[in-house]
């Protein structure tokens, strides 16, 4: 395994939908996730968020705030991912899959559980308030 790498994620929510990409390659190939990827050497983190969003979705964004971080550790990788809330600048523009994204779509928040999303994404979105926490039923 190589040394941990820093990566970023862009969490864009608009009109009750979240922007997701289906990974075309890598450890999460075939799974849906927020746009993002590795931070390049010498690249500021916010610049990496904007670049990755543009490369994977063809959409320009601005970074709003830091949401939190997650780790992804596998047999051959270790990523520390810094996730940021972003605003898409032209919400009328249709996203287009690029770079290592096989597909890109605005997914209604209520439909997220129907998709094959990367491990931990739903929990992260609940913990950061992007998704509501499930209500606890009384016995």
The CB density around residue 6, as the number of other CB atoms within 10 Å, is: 15
Positive/negative CA dihedral, 79, 6, 14, 106: negative
Question: Does the annotation count 43 as an active-site position?
Answer: no
The CB density around residue 93, as the number of other CB atoms within 10 Å, is: 12
Start-to-end C-alpha separation, the chain: 46
Name the active-site residue from 52, 55, 103, 127: 103
The CB density around residue 2, as the number of other CB atoms within 10 Å, is: 7
Which residue numbers are catalytic? 103
């Amino acid at each position: 395994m190589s040394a941990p790498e820093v990566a970023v994620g862009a969490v864009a929510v608009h009109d009750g939908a979240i922007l997701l990409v289906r990974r075309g390659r890598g450890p999460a190939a075939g799974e849906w996730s927020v746009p993002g990827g590795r931070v390049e050497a010498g690249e500021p983190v916010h610049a990496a968020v904007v670049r990755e969003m543009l490369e994977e979705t063809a959409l320009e964004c601005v970074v709003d705030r830091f949401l939190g971080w997650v780790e992804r550790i596998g047999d051959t990788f270790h990523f520390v991912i810094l996730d940021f809330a972003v605003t898409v600048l032209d919400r009328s523009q249709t996203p287009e899959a690029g770079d290592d994204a096989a597909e890109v779509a605005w997914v209604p928040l209520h439909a997220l559980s129907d998709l094959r999303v990367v491990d931990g994404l739903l929990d992260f979105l609940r913990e950061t308030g992007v998704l509501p926490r499930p209500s606890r039923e009384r016995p």
